[in-house]
Structure 1
C-alpha cells in the first residue's frame, strides 16, 4: 500500500488532536505494539478496535514492521467494506516505532430498490427477507433499507437460490446481483435475475426392507410429503424420522437409505423409496462414567442411569435421565455415547463437565400485590462433594421479610427420588393484620416419566397473627402450632413449562393437618393450551380448592383461608379482594373457591403478545367440597400484554368488572411474572 506523505500525515494528526478531523483518534497497545488511528467514526470504532487487536494477537512480531502495518491497514479496510463503506481508504505510516493508520471512511450507501427478474412463483417480500438476511444478521436489525454491503447481498442471493430449490425448483439459478449506485440518494439499486426451471413434487413414497409391522408409523412419518415441493432436505429429514421410529424401539444400528432420482423424471413428480435395515434390538448392559467426575457427580450419574441398565435402548428415556441430571445444576455439560458391543448390547459412556459449584445471585422487581421485591440467594451444588445442593435465601418485599435454608438430595439413597429439607421464617403484613411463621418442611418427589410427577410432604410450623381491627371471629385462631402431611400428582403434557402454547396440564393434591388446627384441604386443576395459527393461541383452565374443618370458617386462621381475585384468578379484583370483607375492608376469605379462565393471545411481534381474557370465580364460606357446584359467580373481562423472558413472561393485565357491586372497584391492574394459569 502506498505510504502517506509525512507532511500530510502530520496535518491529519494535528487536525485530529484539535478536533477538526472527521472521526475519532485513539491508541491501541497490545503485546508491546502501539497502533494509533485517526478518522474513525463512532459507528465503526468498536469494530476497528477489535480488528486491530485480533491481528496483533495473531502476530509474533515484537516491533511494528512495514508488512505488519500494511496488514493492519488491509484488514481495517476489509472491516469497513463489511460495514457498508465501499469507498473507505486506510493509509499507514510508521513513526517512532508506532503504526499510524489514517482512515478516510467515505460515504455510506443504503440498499435502495430491489427488483426481481424472472420470478413468477414466489412472494417477493419473502425473497427480500432471504436476500437481506446476511446484512440483518450482522447488523442486528430488520430494516427494509439497511446499509449496503455488496458481499452480504451476494451471499443473500445464494440464500434466495436455496429457497427456490427448497420449494421444488431444483434447477433454479439465481445469477450474481447487479448494482446501481446513486450518489444523489446515496442508495444502491439491486437487480436479481432468476431462472426458475421446472417445479418438482413428491410422488409415491414406498418402503422396502425390515418393516417389522411399523407400517402405520411409517405412513405417519411421510404423510406430509404427498404433493409437496420436492427437496433433498425434506428427503433427508424424513429419512432421519423413519430411522428414529426404529431407534426409539431399541434398534440402535437401524439404517435407512433414500432412493430418488429427480433427473430421471420427466413429469416433475418424483417417487421416493426408503430402504430400511432395522438391525437387532439392543439392550444397555452397563454405564461407564468418566473418572474425571467428582464423587458427588458420579453418585448422581449412577442414580440417574441405573434404571437404564438391563433395559432396551430408548433415546427418549435416556434424554429424560440426562435432563434430570442437568436440572441438578451440578453439570455444565453432559455427553452420552452409546457404544455397540457384539451380541446386541450397548455400553453407555457418560462424559461431560461439572459446572461452577458456588453461585451468589441478587434479584429485584415489582409485583402488584407484593410491591417492591429485593432478594439474594447463595447456592452451592455438589455440597461437600455429596451431589446435594445447599442454598440460603433472603427476601424483602413490600409485605414482609422472608428467609430460608434448604438442602436438596436429588438422588435419595441412589434412587430416582429427591428429598428436600427446608427451614425458614416469614413475616407478612396485609390489610389489617400481621402474621409471623417459623416452619420446617420435608418433601419427597419423583418424576416417573417425562410427563408425570408425584410428591409427598410433611411440614411443621409455629404461627401467630395479630390485628387491632378484626374481631376474633374474623381473625380466627391467632396463635397455633401446626403439623401437616400431604401429597400431589401432576400430569404435564405442555410443550413448555415456562411459555406453554400447546398441550395440557392437570394436577390434584390433598393436605391433612393436626395440632391446634385440624383440617383437610384438597385442590384440583386443569389447563389446556391450543394453537390456532402460528401466532394465535387459546388457553382455558378450571381450578377448585376446598378446606374441610369441623367448626366452619371461623375456626380457620385467616392466613389459612382460601381467597379469590388477583393476577392468577379473577382479574377484575385486586389480590384476595373478591368475596366477604370486614368493616375495615380486609378480605375474610372462605372454605372453597372456584376459578374458570379463558384467554386468547396473539403474537404481535417476536416475544410480545397481546391477550384478551375472561375469568369467572367464586368464594364460599358454606361449601367445603371441590366438586360442589359454584354459585354467585363473579366475572372479569380484560386485555393484557406479555413479554416473554427466559424465566417466563412479564405480564401486565387489566381486568374489568362487568357486574360491579356497591363498594367494588371498576377493575384492577396486575403486574407480575408468569402466566395466569
Structure 2
C-alpha cells in the first residue's frame, strides 16, 4: 500500500524493499480548471465570468467534477435570471479533469417597460413612479440597458409606494397592480399601478397613560404644539423624541415612553404609556481614560450640568460636542447611584490622535489653482482648544495664518477665536499687502438663532497697478474694525439645503487711519429660501444687499473696503467683483451693492443636479467721470454635484443687459451654495 501525504516525502516498505517517493502537492497535480460558457447571445462570456468573480475560485483551483460543474451552472443561471432571463437554462458538462463546459439557453428576456401610475389624489406621480421602479434596477447585473423585469420585484415596488405615502401622512394608502402586459416581440412588461391615496392624516389629541399618574401634565404641554400638524413620519418621530426628552431632561434617565396609534378617517391618534421611574439629581461628574487631555478642563466644560436634576439630553449634547473636537474616538457615560435619588456620572474616554499635517489642492474660477499645507492640533496643550497653522498659495497670492479656537470660552458655550495672518493678494487693478490680528466670539442663543462678534486690527498697503491712484483711496493705513452679525437659520442643512430659509444681518464699524482718518459704517442683509417643489425639483430664491457710508466720501475710502458685485455668488454673467464702476475694465467698487438670485434645480442621478437661474444686481457709487454701474441681469444653466463638503458647481451666466466693454457671459467653478 502506498500513502500520499500532501507536500511531504513518504517512505514505504513493501516486500523487503524500501522505496522513496517524492510526492507532488495535490494542488499542483493538475492545471487550473477552465470554465467555458457557450451559447450566450446577448452577453459576452467575459461579462458573465467577471460578474461571478471570486465565487469561481474554488472551482478553478480544484479538479473538475459533476457537482462543481453544477455549482458553476447555478451561478450563471442566477446571473441571467437576475437580468430578466426568467426561463434561462444552463447545462453543465465535465469535459476532462480541468475543463467544465456550461451550455446556455438564454430564452427570452423580460425588461421593465412603461409603468403608469393612476392615483385618486394629488400625489406626485413622478415621485411615485421613481419609488415603484426602484427594486427593478437595484440588482441589475450588467449595469446597462433597460432594467430587467422580475416577478418578485412587483410586490416590493408596491410596498415601497405604500410606505412613501404613509411617510407623507397618507396612513390608509394602498398600492395594487391593476394590469400587466408582456410584449411578445420586445419582452417589455408594461404595468398599470393603482394608488388609492386616501385622506391625509393629521395628528389629533393623544391619550397618555401613566400607572402612577405622574407625567401626564408635562406630556400635555409637550404634545400640544403638534396638534393639527400633518401626521408625516418626520412629525411623528419628532413627537416621540420630544416626549422622551421632556422627561430625560428633567431628572428621569430611566423613563420608558411607549407610543402606539389609532387611526380615524383622517386622524392619527397617538397613544402614550409613560413609566417615569425614579427622579435623580446629578452630584458629581468624574472622568476616566485621559492621558493627553487635562481632566480639569473636561470637568470645567461639564460643570453647568451638576447640582441639579440630571439632564440626560444636555449630557448627550455635551458629549457630542466633545466628540466633535476630534480629540476623542469615543465617550461612554456610566451612571452610579451614590445615595437615594442621587447619582454620579463617569465619562469613559478613548482619546484619538489629535495632531496631523495636511496637504490639499483645489481650484475656482476667481482664485485659480489653490494649494494649502497646514498643521492642526485639535487638543492644543491638552485643553481641547484647536490650534492650526498653515499657508495657502493661489493664482492670486499667498496667505499665511495661525488660529487658536476655544469652543468653551471660560467654561461657557461661547466659542472664542484668535487669528494672526499675513496676506498678499492681487486684484484686477491693484494688489493688497495686509498683516493683522482678528478676535471673535460666537454664541448659539437657540437652535436657530446665533450671534457673532468680531474685531480686528491690521496694517494695509495697496499697490497701484492698472487703476490710477486717484481711484484707490488711501493706499497705506491701519484698519481697525468691529463687526456684529445676527443669524437666523431654519434650513434642513447648512451644507446641502433642500428646504427652509436663513438670513444674516451683519453690521460693521471701522476706521482707516492713514494720511487722513476715514471712518465708515457698513450694514447688510443676505440669505435665501429653499422650496421643494417635488422629490426631484427645487426652487431657491436668495440674495444680498450691502451699504457702506463714510465720513470722507466713498472716493476717499480705501478700495478694498468698498463693496463689489459679480461672481459665482452674485450676478453670474460677470467675473468675480467685475460688475459695477470700473476703469479700463478694472473694478473699483462702490457704496451700495445688491443682488437677487432665483434658481430652479432638478435631481438627475445620484448627486448630480441640473440648475437654471436668473440673477439681477447692481453696484452704485457717488463718483464722477468713470462709468457707473447700472442694473445687470443674467440667465444661465449649470450642473451641481452634491458632495459632503457642499455642492460643486459649474455654471455659465449669460449677460442679458450687455453694454460696451461688458462680457457676454462668464463661466464659474465654485464650491458651496449660491446663497
Q: Is the pair's TM-score, using the shorter chain for normalization, greater than 0.5? A: yes
Give the corresponding residue for 2:401: 404
The 3 A distance-change label for structure 1 pair 283 and 521 is farther
SS in 2 for 1:497: coil
The 3 A distance-change label for structure 1 pair 464 and 127 is closer
Cα shift at 1:525: 1.8
Asked if 2 retains the 8 angstrom alpha-carbon contact of 1:300 and 1:325, the reply is no
Q: Deviations over 1:124-147 (max 9, x none)?
A: 987765554333233499999412
User: How do residues 259-338 of structure 1 correspond to structure 2 at under 5 angstroms?
Assistant: 273-277=271-275, 283-289=281-287, 291-292=288-289, 294-296=291-293, 302=299, 304-312=301-309, 317-318=314-315, 320-331=317-328
Cα shift at 1:498: 1.7
Asked if 1 retains the 8 angstrom alpha-carbon contact of 2:573 and 2:665, the reply is yes
SS in 1 for 2:293: helix
The 3 A distance-change label for structure 1 pair 100 and 507 is farther
Q: Are positions 1:433 and 2:430 aligned together? A: yes
Give the corresponding residue for 2:541: 539
SS in 2 for 1:296: coil
Residue of structure 2 aligned with 1:492, choices 473, 485, 488: 488
Aligned pairs, number: 614
Asked if 1 retains the 8 angstrom alpha-carbon contact of 2:419 and 2:438, the reply is yes
User: How do residues 246-265 of structure 1 correspond to structure 2 at under 5 angstroms?
Assistant: 246-247=246-247, 250=250, 252-257=253-258
Cα shift at 1:212: 0.9
The 3 A distance-change label for structure 1 pair 133 and 48 is same
Give the corresponding residue for 1:586: 586
**For the residues of structure 2 that align with 1:455 and 1:163, how far apart are their CA atoms?**
41
The 3 A distance-change label for structure 1 pair 671 and 461 is same
**For the residues of structure 2 that align with 1:541 and 1:88, how far apart are their CA atoms?**
62
Give the corresponding residue for 1:363: 361
Q: Deviations over 1:301-336 (max 9, x none)?
A: 545544333455556645653453344233456666
Query: Runs of 5+ in structure 1 lacking a partner?
Result: 1-28, 57-61, 623-630
Give the corresponding residue for 1:135: 136
**For the residues of structure 1 that align with 2:184 and 2:67, how far apart are their CA atoms?**
35
Asked if 2 retains the 8 angstrom alpha-carbon contact of 1:303 and 1:416, the reply is no
SS in 2 for 1:138: coil
**For the residues of structure 1 that align with 2:429 and 2:565, how far apart are their CA atoms?**
18
Q: Deviations over 1:160-218 (max 9, x none)?
A: 67679985569x8979x9999988545568899x9999999899754244431654652
Give the corresponding residue for 2:13: none
Give the corresponding residue for 2:226: 221
SS in 1 for 2:587: coil
Cα shift at 1:292: 4.0
The 3 A distance-change label for structure 1 pair 475 and 78 is same
Asked if 1 retains the 8 angstrom alpha-carbon contact of 2:579 and 2:587, the reply is yes
The 3 A distance-change label for structure 1 pair 656 and 276 is same
CA RMSD of aligned residues (A): 5.3
Asked if 2 retains the 8 angstrom alpha-carbon contact of 1:247 and 1:315, the reply is no
Cα shift at 1:502: 0.6
**For the residues of structure 2 that align with 1:578 and 1:222, how far apart are their CA atoms?**
50
Q: Deviations over 1:27-85 (max 9, x none)?
A: xx9xxx977655484444454224457x89xxxxx988979957963774475254556
User: How do residues 518-557 of structure 1 correspond to structure 2 at under 5 angstroms?
Assistant: 519-531=519-531, 533-534=533-534, 535-546=537-548, 548=550, 550-557=551-558
SS in 1 for 2:533: coil
Q: Deviations over 1:103-124 (max 9, x none)?
A: 5565383424589999999999
TM-score, normalization: structure 2? 0.71
**For the residues of structure 2 that align with 1:321 and 1:604, how far apart are their CA atoms?**
36
**For the residues of structure 2 that align with 1:464 and 1:197, how far apart are their CA atoms?**
67
Give the corresponding residue for 1:3: none
Asked if 2 retains the 8 angstrom alpha-carbon contact of 1:598 and 1:614, the reply is yes
SS in 1 for 2:216: coil
Asked if 2 retains the 8 angstrom alpha-carbon contact of 1:640 and 1:651, the reply is no
Asked if 2 retains the 8 angstrom alpha-carbon contact of 1:381 and 1:389, the reply is yes
Q: Deviations over 1:331-352 (max 9, x none)?
A: 4566667788875566556567
Asked if 2 retains the 8 angstrom alpha-carbon contact of 1:304 and 1:324, the reply is no
TM-score, normalization: structure 1? 0.71
405-414 or 490-499: bigger deviation: 405-414
Asked if 2 retains the 8 angstrom alpha-carbon contact of 1:90 and 1:101, the reply is no
The 3 A distance-change label for structure 1 pair 377 and 271 is closer
